[in-house]
Homo-oligomer: A and B are copies of this chain.
Amino acid sequence: MPVAGNVAIVGSAATVFGVHHELGYLDLLEDASRRAIEDAGLQNQDVEAAWLSTAVTDVVALEGESGSPITERLDFAPRPVTRVSAYCASGMEAVRNAAISIAAGEYEVVLAVGAEKMRDVTPRGSLVARTGNMTHPTLTKGRTGPGFFALLASRYLDTFNRTTDDLSAVAVKNHEHATRNPIAQYNEPVTAEQVRSSAMIADPLRVLDCTPTTDGAAAVVLASVEWAKKSGRPYAVLSGVGFSVMDGYYSGLYNPENDFLGFRATREASKVAYAQAGIHTPREQLDLVECHDCFTITEILNYEDLGLCGRGEGWKLLLDGATTIGGDIPVNLSGGLQSCGHPIGATGVRVVKEVADQMIGRAGGRQVAGAKHGVAHTLGGPGILSCVMVISAAE
């Protein structure tokens, strides 16, 4: 049977996202996994297989290059564990592959977990240093994450005659949302003036336009909808899943079809996910979206790529308040990557958990009443790949 409509999220958990010098990679992984399994009303032995997402294995050394960390900490032997990586979309790849195994009927109950330690690296181990060590030193001179997205921001502001105040509005909104999310790395509100006066990282992006560097883990337990129904416990349904890879890591930068005003990977992935889920008018049919706000500009571009508005109109959706809590299509109620941080392998699993929690009605102070359909989205690499999942309330 296809994944769409047939696979349920029956348990989930996440660690607090933040600076965890006191906890190792295995500790984070174990905590999120055990609590997700408990949340499904199960024990470790009930879970038949697992998928692990870790994007950057430097901190966990050779251990993170297979699924064995799960085995080590969850008494999981001799079960299969698969490790996937897809840059910033890694977590959703773990969920997607785990979901496919449920759709196959190969397993009844599986775990998808993502974890990343990003605060235990020295400057020589940072993502920027790694880019230089593994590629060419000149690539670290500007072609960093902030540097790349700064170019998109400049182009967007110029093309649509906007100012950096629009970018600030994303940060202000998401930090306000995060005051309602106990696992967010930062849950104090910030003002537009604070964003505006924060340190410049890559013009026009300032510190408060960027996701922070973070440790964390998140896990979900998946089963068939049939199994979930029988369990009598709350669950959410994966009603559409699209994953799209558009270019090679560098080739996307030279793709003449790339206008650098959005990401085709997201447009293609959402096309697939929406078709499966019967979403024709996203802004009307969706109750909320969790999308990849690695930088403030990214969220505005995502509005457009996810079809919440036309191209060049994302800033308007934002300024109109439509994407703020209480608006007709709230985006990043969790606080997003801006406030939760972005432990790469964990993020995709966290956003799936966040939307599933909304569909189950247990999102606490940020709950959208009666939410029926939400989108979980991550964008990876230099925008070359993207995963979009439509997650729906149980019928």
Contact = CB atoms under 8 A, between A and B. Distances in A.
B104 A245 contact: no
Interface in A92-115: 93, 96-97, 100-101, 103-106
Given A79-B244, A244-B79, A86 B104 contact: no
B81 A84 contact: no
Contact of A87 (B66, B79, B87): B66
Interface in A50-92: 55, 57-58, 61-63, 65-73, 76-87, 89
A89 B80 CA distance: 12
Identical chains bound together, number: 2
Interface residues of A, number: 63
A268 B78 contact: yes
Contacts of A106: 2-3, 100, 103-104
A381 interface: yes
A245 B85 contact: no
Contacts of A384: 66, 68, 71
Interface stretch (A39-47, A248-256, A347-355): A248-256
Given A66-B85, A83-B86, A97-B82, A72 B264 contact: no
What secondary structure prevails in chain A residues at the interface with B? mixed
Interface in A141-176: none
A186 to B, nearest CB: 28
Contacts of A84: 82-84
Contact of A83 (B85, B96, B104, B130): B85
A62 B249 contact: yes
Q: Name the residue among A104, A105, A243 with the largest chain B CB count within 10 angstroms.
A: A104
Contacts of A78: 244-246, 264-265, 268-269
A336 B296 CA distance: 52
Interface of A: 1-3, 26, 55, 57-58, 61-63, 65-73, 76-87, 89, 93, 96-97, 100-101, 103-106, 130-131, 134-135, 242-251, 264-265, 268-269, 380-381, 384-385
15 contacts: A2-B106, A26-B248, A62-B249, A67-B86, A71-B245, A71-B246, A72-B248, A72-B251, A77-B244, A78-B264, A78-B269, A80-B245, A82-B96, A82-B243, A100-B104
